[in-house]
Structure 1
Amino acid sequence: MTERKAYEGTYQGEKAIWLKSGRYEAIMLPEIGGNLIAFRDVESGYRFLREPEEQEMDAFKSNPGIHGIPVLFPPNRYEDGLFPWRGEVYQFPVNEASTQNHLHGFLHTTPWEVEDFGQTPHESYVTVKVTVNSQHKVYQYLPFTFTVRLKYTLSDNGLAQQLFVRNDGENEMPCLIAFHTTVNAPFVPGGDAKDYRVKLTLGERWELSDRMLPTGVFQPLTAEEYQMQGEGVYPFFESMDNHYTAVPQNGRNRMELTDTKAGVTLVYDVGTSYKQWMIWNNGAKEGFFCPEPQLNLVNAPKSALPAEEIGLFSLQPGEIWEERSRFYVK
Structure 2
Amino acid sequence: MERLPSGEQYRIAHGDQQATIVEVGGGVREYSQAGRPILDPYDAASMCDGAHGTPLIPWPNRLAGGRYRFDGRDYQVALTEPAKGNAIHGFLRWRPWRAIRHDADRVVMAATVFPLTGYPFLLEVAVDYHLTGEGLVVTTTATDAGDRACPYGCGQHPYLSPGSGLLDDCDLELAAETRITTDEARQLPSGTESVDGTPFDFRTRRRIGSLPIDFAFTDLARDEEGRAWVRLWNAEGGCTELWVDESYPFVEIYTGDTLAPERRRRGLGTEPMSCPPNAFQSGEGVIRLEPGTSVTTRWGARLQ
Give the TM-score of the pair, scaled to structure 1. 0.81
Q: Deviations over 1:140-178 (max 9, x none)?
A: 331111211011111332111111111111211112111
Q: Are 1:116 and 2:101 counterparts?
A: yes
Unaligned 5+ runs, structure 1: 1-8
The structure with the largest alpha-carbon Rg is 1
Tell which has more relative contact order, 1 or 2 (C-alpha 8 A, sep 6+).
Answer: 2
Rounded to whole Å, the distance in 2 between the matches of 1:170 and 1:14 is 32
- Report the counterpart of residue 249 of structure 1 in structure 2: 222
Which residue, out of 56, 65, 71, partners 2:50? 65
Q: Secondary structure at the match of 2:276?
A: coil
| 1:162 aligned residue | 139
User: Cα–Cα, structure 1 residues 53 and 168, in superposed 2: closer, same or farther, change >3 Å?
Assistant: closer
Q: Which residue of 2 aligns with 1:49?
A: 39
CA deviation after TM superposition for structure 1 residue 179, in Å: 0.9
SS for the counterpart of 2:199 is helix
Query: Are 2:30 and 1:38 aligned?
Result: yes
Aligned-pair CA distance for 1:110: 1.1
Shift of 1:218: 1.8
Residues 17 and 37 (structure 1), Cα distance of their counterparts in 2 relative to 1, 3 Å cut: same
Q: How many residues align?
A: 293
CA contact (8 A) 1:235 1:289 kept: no
**CA positional deviation for 1:290:** 0.5
Q: Which amino acid aligns with 1:132?
A: V
2:61 matches 1:82: no
Contact 2:170 2:209 in 1 (8 A): no
CA separation in 2, counterparts of 1:192 and 1:318? 46
- Per-residue CA deviation, residues 13-56 of structure 1 (Å, 9 max, x unaligned), is 841111121111000102x1101111011x2x21122222366x
1:15 to 8, 28, 38: 8
Residues 243-271 of structure 1 show CA distances to partners (whole Å, capped at 9, x for unaligned) of: 22242332322211123633x32221111
Paired residues of 1:128 and 1:149 also in contact (CA < 8 A) = yes
| 1:52 maps to amino acid | Y
* Partner in structure 2 of residue 132 of structure 1: 113
Distance 1:233 1:98, change over 3 A: farther
d(CA) in 2 for partners of 1:268 and 1:202?
14
Note the C-alpha offset of 1:236. 4.3
- Classify 1:11/1:49 alpha carbon distance in 2 versus 1 (closer, same or farther; 3 Å): farther
**Tell me, what secondary structure is at the counterpart of 1:317?**
coil
Q: Decide which structure has greater helix share.
A: 1
Q: Spell out the pairing of 1:1-330 with structure 2 (5 A cutoff).
A: 14-30=7-23, 32-41=24-33, 43=34, 45-53=35-43, 57=46, 60-61=47-48, 64-67=49-52, 69-73=53-57, 74-119=59-104, 124-134=105-115, 139-185=116-162, 187=163, 190-191=164-165, 193-209=167-183, 210-215=185-190, 217-221=191-195, 222-226=197-201, 228-230=202-204, 232-250=205-223, 251-259=226-234, 261-262=236-237, 264-283=238-257, 285-303=264-282, 310-330=284-304
Q: Which amino acid aligns with 1:40?
A: S
- Contact 1:10/1:17, CA 8 A, preserved across alignment: no
8 Å Cα contact 1:274/1:311 also seen in 2: no
Over the matched positions of the two proteins, sequence identity in percent amounts to 22
1:195–1:261 CA contact under 8 A, matched in 2 = no
Amino acid at match of 1:113: R
Letter in 2 for 1:15: E
C-alpha distance in structure 1 between counterparts of 2:4 and 2:30, whole Å: 10
| Structure 1 residue 12 displacement after superposition | 7.7
Cα deviation 1:52-88 (Å, max 9, x = unaligned): 2366x1xx25xx4342x11111211111111221111
Rounded Cα–Cα distance in structure 1 between residues aligned with 2:291 and 2:131: 33
The Cα shift of 1:220 comes to 4.4
